[in-house]
Amino acid sequence: FFFGANTIPMAGLHLLVVAALLFSVSGYQSVKGGALQDCSVRGEATTGYLRNNKCAERNDDLGSHHICIKMEQDFCETTGQGDWCTTHKDPFTGNGIGHWCVCQWAFARYLKSKGDCSAFKEVKCEATNMEARKAYESNPSMAQAAECLRKKCGYGKDQHKLRGQVGH
C-alpha cells in the first residue's frame, strides 16, 4: 500500500461504503413494492415478530406475521386466539395495541368469518410485507385474502412479477 495524496479520499470512500452496508434497510418490501415501513406508531404497543415494529420474521415465525392492520376489537376472539387483542400491554411502555402485525392465516380467517374486506377498517399497506402478498397470490385457496389486500392497497394482480420477484 502506498500512502499519498489520494489516500485520505479513498479511505473516506471506503468508510462510506461500509457505513452504507451496515445501515442499509433490511431488504423487506411492502405489498406495494417500496421499503417495508413500521407498523405500530408512537403511543402503541411495539409489534412485529422481533418486536421492532416491522412485519418481518425469521425462519422460526410459523405464523408469518406479515400483515399490518389497525387491530379490530373482535379480531382475536374471531380467529380463535382468546381476547389478548384488547388486553395486551407492551411490557416496556404499557401501551395497548393499535396497529399490529397479524399472521397471514389469522387475517384470512377473520376475513372469511366476516364475509368481506370491509371488516378491516385499516390495512397499513406500506407496513404489510410482500411475503404475504406472494403467499396469497400463489395459493388459490387464499384468493379472498389476496383480493382484499389488492383492494385495500390499490395494486394490480401479479404486479410484483412485472418488477421481478422480491424477497429478503
Nearest to 80 by CA among 108, 116, 58: 108
Instruction: Tell whether 14 is covered by a domain.
Output: no
Instruction: Tell whether 6 is covered by a domain.
Output: no
Nearest to 66 by CA among 123, 12, 141, 20: 123
Rounded to a whole number, what is the distance in angstroms from the first to the last CA of the chain?
Answer: 37
Instruction: Tell whether 167 is covered by a domain.
Output: no
What's the DSSP call for residue 2?
-
**DSSP letter for each residue of 52-116:** SS-S---TT-TT-EEEEEEPPTTHHHHTTSTTHHHH-B-TTT-PBPSEEEEEHHHHHHHHHHHSS
Instruction: Tell whether 154 is covered by a domain.
Output: yes
Instruction: Decide: 152 and 123 in contact? Cβ < 8 Å.
Output: yes
Instruction: Tell whether 2 is covered by a domain.
Output: no
Output the domain CATH number for residue 63: 3.30.56.110
Domain that holds residue 102: 28-160
Instruction: Tell whether 5 is covered by a domain.
Output: no
Instruction: Tell whether 20 is covered by a domain.
Output: no
**pTM of the predicted structure, to 2 decimals:** 0.77
Predicted local confidence at residue 137, as pLDDT: 95
Instruction: Tell whether 3 is covered by a domain.
Output: no
Number of domains the chain contains: 1
What is the pLDDT tens value at each position of the chain, 168 positions in all?
Answer: 344 454 445 444 443 333 333 333 458 999 999 999 999 999 999 999 889 999 998 766 667 999 999 999 999 999 999 889 989 999 888 999 999 999 999 999 999 999 999 999 999 999 999 999 999 999 999 999 999 999 999 987 654 443 444 343
d(CA 82, CA 51): 21
